[in-house]
Amino acid sequence: MQFCALFLFGLLNVLYPQNPSSLNSQNILYRLKQSSGFQKQVKITLDPGIEENFQKHLAYNKKNPDFLGLRIRIYRGSGTGALDEATRVRANFASKYDDVNAYLKFDTPDFVVYVGDCRTWSEVLKLFYRIEKDYPFSYVVPQQPVTIKYNQEYKPDQDE
């Protein structure tokens, strides 16, 4: 029984990863219970505790959209001109890669430019290989919190 519950949660996490945009539209249990218009229907019988824990999981993710993610550091510098240089690097990146978020942060004593909001290593490596010829000294760093904007539906890579 425990294996079945873990398998179900794993499957649900793969199909609908931490996406709190709408509890009922993204809730697979809710969607499976609804009539699909097909001739045959699937009946799912769950222990009430599993469904209750799943609902708690969805509610928690709606309240806490931040998680440990991955970004790429493309610049780090300190000194008198570091802020101007970091601003220039960020603006240059934003003009070349307008579909990727860029962040300028001050990590004492350095100004640092991070790019990307990646969930998985495959996502960050795809971005890394895309920008590495323009930013050869960049590297991947874990970042917390990384907030994914859920107005766009998450579509995992086909190779994951």
* pLDDT tens column, 119-142: 889 999 999 999 999 999 999 999
- pLDDT 10s digits, 143-158: 876 666 544 444 445 4
pLDDT at 51: 83
> Domain 66-147 is in which class?
alpha beta
Residues of the chain with CATH 3.30.70: 66-147
- Whether pLDDT at 86 is above 70: yes
**Secondary structure class of 107 (helix, strand, coil):** strand
Mean pLDDT across 93-107: 92
pLDDT at 46: 77
Contact yes or no for 148/65 (Cβ under 8 A): yes
pLDDT at 28: 67
- Whether pLDDT at 95 is above 90: yes
Mean pLDDT across 40-47: 74
In 3D space, the residue among 143, 116, 142 whose CA is nearest the CA of residue 129 turns out to be: 116
Contact yes or no for 21/61 (Cβ under 8 A): no
Contact yes or no for 77/111 (Cβ under 8 A): yes
pLDDT at 2: 53
Amino acid at 53: N
Q: For the chain, what is the mean pLDDT? A: 76
Amino acid at 134: D
Contact yes or no for 113/86 (Cβ under 8 A): yes
Higher per-residue pLDDT: 12 or 33: 33
- pTM for the model stands at 0.56
Q: Which of 16-25, 36-45, 90-99 has the highest mean pLDDT?
A: 90-99
In 3D space, the residue among 72, 71, 69, 75 whose CA is nearest the CA of residue 112 turns out to be: 75
The Cα–Cα gap between 89 and 86 comes to: 5
Sign of CA dihedral 130, 134, 136, 142: negative
